[in-house]
Amino acid sequence: MNRVQIGVLGTAAFLGVAIFGLTRQAYDKHDLLGVIPGMTYKQAESLSRSRKWTCQDQPAAHEAVCSTSRGNFTLQYLPDGDQPISRATLELTKLTDTAQVLADDLSGQYRKQPARVEGQEPVMTFTWDLGGGITLQLQKTAADKADLVIGNESLQKRRDSAGQGAPK
């Protein structure tokens, strides 16, 4: 390779790293395992197939329960139209970290600090406002169990008012 080729490759590599860094900084996470409240049930179904989750739809309850490598994942959706996802809950078991360690990890992933913290170890709830009406909650229910819940409050209210049962 001559100097010009090396210079071009070096510049391209530098620009690639710089662009990746800038896009990573601008990215705000709004999903849980790829599910974003407001996406349609069909989109979530397609995602679950691509990730090879085992899911069982429960049409009467307007929810699907999926087995993932990270735990059971429940998707609640509205009965009308495109069946938008209103809430998704990931059940975590066999945890060894404290609620604060889990919350710090989530704050790093979502690049936000909790808007609200309730309770004390081992039972605590942390709530993050992700914007656009989407909230994330870490509900540590025991020393070794927790639920991660992502939802859109206005969609969940519509679902609840449609008589589809109490939220989880």
CATH number at residue 154: 3.30.310
Let me know if residue 90 belongs to a domain: yes
Provide the number of structural domains found in the chain: 1
Q: How far is CA 58 from CA 55, 104, 112, 160, in A?
A: 10, 34, 34, 16
The model's pLDDT over 117-153, given as tens digits with 9 standing for 90+, comes to: 999 988 999 999 999 999 999 999 999 999 999 999 9
- Residue 9 pLDDT greater than 50, yes or no: no
DSSP tag of 31: -
- Estimate the share of the chain in helix, then strand, then coil, as percent rounded to the nearest 5: 35, 40, 30
Let me know if residue 9 belongs to a domain: no
Distance CA 108, CA 7 (A): 36
Let me know if residue 96 belongs to a domain: yes
Let me know if residue 93 belongs to a domain: yes
Let me know if residue 1 belongs to a domain: no
Let me know if residue 21 belongs to a domain: no
User: Which of these, 107, 117, 46, 106, lies nearest to 82 by C-alpha position?
Assistant: 46
Domain that residue 113 falls in = 31-161
Let me know if residue 84 belongs to a domain: yes
- Mean pLDDT computed over every residue of the chain: 86
Let me know if residue 104 belongs to a domain: yes
